[in-house]
């Protein structure tokens, strides 16, 4: 009986650590605009038409990784749902200036 309890405990711990695999992404939202080959504007996933939501300019650099349904910048499209990892430790909402993307994941 103790072996079964131990097995269930270990299985629970492993399943809990497997959840939340997107912890490395600082922003989750949608592509609002593709400015040029070096930047995009992204915004919230919220859809209340009476509210105002912030938009963020994200710079794409040579080492920016693309994953999920896209493999390169030219695969990005307005309206796509994205998760973005930002260079540096500062939160996107508190950054002054443009943010540099280290990875863009498209759902």
Domain ranges across the chain: 23-106
> pLDDT tier at 102 (50, 70, 90 boundaries)?
very high
More confident residue, 41 or 22: 41
Fold designation for 23-106? OB fold (Dihydrolipoamide Acetyltransferase, E2P) (2.40.50)
Give the bridge partners for 105, in sequence order: 67, 83
Residue 55 · residue 35 · CB < 8 Å: no
Question: What does the block give as tokens for 72?
Answer: 């390169």
Residue 18 · residue 32 · CB < 8 Å: no
More confident residue, 80 or 94: 80
Q: How far apart are CA 66 and CA 76, in angstroms?
A: 9
pLDDT of 23 higher than 60: no
Give the bridge partners for 87, in sequence order: none
Determine the pLDDT at residue 44: 87
Question: What does the block give as tokens for 41?
Answer: 């504007």
pTM, rounded to two decimals: 0.72
């Amino acid at each position: 009986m103790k072996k079964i309890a131990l097995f269930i405990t270990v299985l629970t711990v492993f399943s809990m650590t497997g959840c939340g695999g997107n912890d490395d992404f600082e922003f989750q939202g949608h592509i609002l605009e593709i400015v040029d080959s070096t930047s995009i504007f992204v915004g919230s996933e919220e859809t209340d038409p009476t509210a105002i939501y912030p938009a963020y300019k994200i710079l794409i650099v040579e080492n920016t990784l693309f994953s999920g349904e896209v493999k390169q910048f030219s695969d990005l499209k307005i309206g796509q749902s994205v998760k973005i990892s930002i260079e540096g430790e500062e939160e996107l909402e508190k950054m002054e200036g443009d943010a540099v993307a280290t990875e863009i994941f498209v759902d």
